[in-house]
Structure 1
Amino acid sequence: MGVCIDDVAARAQVSTATVSRALRGLPRVSDATRAKVLEVAEAMGYVPSPSASGLATGRTKTVGVLVPFVDRWYFGHAIEGIDQVLRDHGYNLLLFSLGGYVHGQKRSFTKSMVRKQIDALLVLSLGLSDEELYQLHHTDIPLLSVGGPVEGCPGVYIDDIAATTAAMDHLIGLGHRKIGYLHGGVEDQRNFRVPALRTVAFEAAMDRAGLEVLPDWSVPGDFTVADGVRAAAQIFDSPAGLPTAIFCGSDEMALGLMFEAQRRGIRIPEELSVVGIDDHDFSAPAGLTTIAQSPWEHGRTAARMLLAELRGTADSVQDTTMPFELVVRTSTAPPSR
């Protein structure tokens, strides 16, 4: 049976996290402790990766990025921003895609990350279980979330409560009182907090304005154009009739809704106002009013913070609230009298 990290930690009389940090050249390990760990590891023949270079350099120059999807607008742009910063600094990006949210299954990405010896991890809008967080913190890999809060690690994201409130204030300020909502599905809200935060803000805005949230006008989607079409059809066919405005939890759902409205001859904004969140690449050509955010810049900011942490800069990784902006286009107007 081969030598494991626990064997090295026991002989060096330090924690396994300290061994991991020492071998990967991470900060906050004294020179004496690092030298002792390296000496013990070499004497025991312990090699933390398929390549022995890990002992020589202490770094793999690789940052892991964990995503639930790679084909969604936000994730794709965030990955692009991360990759640009990493390449500029001589780092590689190792992508861990779950191919969607995994339910009721044990995910193996944590052990895989440890085996491949990444230097740090970025988590894109995905909730981690207590066991997964424990394993990652146990190896002392710097963690940072992008796109939404992830319990157990700092993150880079917009204030979704404030962003949703801005969208609702715009609709209510125009005079809309019959407002529908396309929101994340149950599984989305179970796996990451952004959809739930937007739902809380939507309901709070309706309550402050003394408006009723009708179940027929509050429909779950899956943050895709196709699901926007499906959810829109459900609202348009509801016994409650047509609302005068609909807030969508993403631009992709909003675009799908606009396609379905056009197919049915529902005029936007004369009969129906639509607001989204993101500022998707197709939102400006479609005339969609939206809450604009920049996932590309979110990714760049997060990558810069992680690299600073790896360089040993104090308090490099911390919660960072990114800016957003209400962009008013032609999809919103006062309700017809």
Structure 2
Amino acid sequence: MPDPSSTAAAHVPSDVSSGPRATIEDVATAARVSVATVSRAMRGLPNVAAATRQRVVDVAQSLNYRPDPAASRLAAGKTKTITVGVPSLNGWYFSTVVAGAEAVCNEAGYEFQVIGVGSHDARDRLLDDRYHLERRTDGLILVDVEPSDEQASALARRGVSLTTIGARIVGCPSVQIDDEHVGRLAADHLIGFGHRDLGVISGLDDDPMNFAVPMARRSGFFGGAAAHGITLGDEHVRNGNFGVDGGRVATAELLDAPRPPTAIFAMSDEMAFGALMELEHRALRPGVDVSIIGVDDHEFARVVKLTTIRQTIAEHGAVAARLLIEAMTVRATDAGVDYVPPAHQPTVELVQRTTTGPAPTS
């Protein structure tokens, strides 16, 4: 989420301070910035505009926000560390999730570390008893890395709390959007403009983690198309490897097909950026000659006027970290008998800009 440049005062409800303790997410919402920006602003770190920093400080004071002392006391035990495991250490999506989680962990007094878990073998090594993860961390957030039920149970027995983003594991808190719904939203939007020839830019050519998100979004898109009498198959899909270059290559392949699409659903904004580059190379107008819709609402999406399905990615990381700390608190106080790990499903929102429009008439 980009830092807004506006210096307009954020709306702060007058009675907030009399209610429950304000969280870092409350401050981020009221100040219209990400949780990571709140964390940087409150700690005086660089790369925060002066106006944004002042707005965050003003909102925090108005909400009577302060770090949670109970969480800080909890961090006084064991390793004082929380770990996040991601399939890739590169890429905007994962870095944004990590920033959100780190802000909450810093607030709670934890050291924070990020590790790459790019294959099943890497996952198994990390979670193996012989790695002694319990000596290195108090809690683990896995982002688009799905452990087995047995691995999750073994972690619990060893005293390591687990929260997942993008997957649901029995007995563990989770944060996961409805990816089939994302696909249906994209299909309904494009078909609503009259498009019948559709293309899809999916995920990875070779996915060692069996990443479930692309298949769920494909299922939703295909199902949404079928509801309108449009049948799609493998020939309508190209893999873009969740990157700009991959998105451009995939778009070229779709447009060179015998019956090219008039509208393309890219499963990430970064792949959609590549699609827009290919349209420009061919002198095709987005939203006129070919419509493009992405997913995420990347900070540059509004710059290129990309229609997208917004998910609040930094907040996913923040929520996951808060759920993890809550689970660790329950374990530390022996209050787990009645504890039901929450499955948090954030909402998504279609954001229409200019890269989608009516199907060409000729």
User: CA offsets, 1:274-324, max 9 Å, x none?
Assistant: 001100111111111000011110111111111122222663741100021
Q: Which amino acid aligns with 1:149?
A: A
TM-score by length of structure 1 reads 0.76
1:247-286 mapped onto 2 (5 Å cutoff): 247-286=265-304
Asked whether 1:327 is paired with 2:351, we answer: yes
RMSD of aligned C-alpha atoms? 2.1
CA drift at 1:113: 5.2
State the identity %. 34
TM-score by length of structure 2 reads 0.71
1:39-118 mapped onto 2 (5 Å cutoff): 58-98=77-117, 101-102=118-119, 107-111=124-128, 112=131, 114=133, 116-118=135-137
Structure 2 unaligned blocks of 5 or more:
1-75
Instruction: State the structure with more CA Rg.
Output: 1
Query: Does the 8 A contact of 1:144 with 1:317 survive in 2?
Result: no
Q: Distance in 2 between matches of 1:92 and 1:316?
A: 27
CA drift at 1:124: 0.4
Q: Distance in 2 between matches of 1:114 and 1:105?
A: 13
Question: What residue is the counterpart of 2:50 in the other structure?
Answer: none
Question: What residue is the counterpart of 2:56 in the other structure?
Answer: none
Match of 2:328 among 299, 310, 316: 310
User: CA offsets, 1:24-64, max 9 Å, x none?
Assistant: xxxxxxxxxxxxxxxxxxxxxxxxxxxxxxxxx64212111
Query: Does the 8 A contact of 1:254 with 1:274 survive in 2?
Result: yes
Q: Which amino acid aligns with 1:323?
A: T
Q: Distance in 2 between matches of 1:138 and 1:311?
A: 16
Q: Which amino acid aligns with 1:267?
A: R
Q: Which amino acid aligns with 1:295?
A: I
Change (3 A) 1:103 1:139: closer
Question: What residue is the counterpart of 2:36 in the other structure?
Answer: none
Q: Which amino acid aligns with 1:173?
A: G
Q: Which amino acid aligns with 2:262?
A: T
CA drift at 1:225: 0.6
Query: Does the 8 A contact of 1:183 with 1:221 survive in 2?
Result: yes
Q: Distance in 2 between matches of 1:310 and 1:130?
A: 19
Change (3 A) 1:103 1:186: farther
Q: Distance in 1 between matches of 2:167 and 2:235?
A: 30
Aligned residue pairs, count: 277
Change (3 A) 1:113 1:252: farther
Q: Which amino acid aligns with 1:322?
A: P
User: CA offsets, 1:190-223, max 9 Å, x none?
Assistant: 5221111101101111111111215433112211
User: CA offsets, 1:118-137, max 9 Å, x none?
Assistant: 11110001122466435424
Change (3 A) 1:122 1:166: same
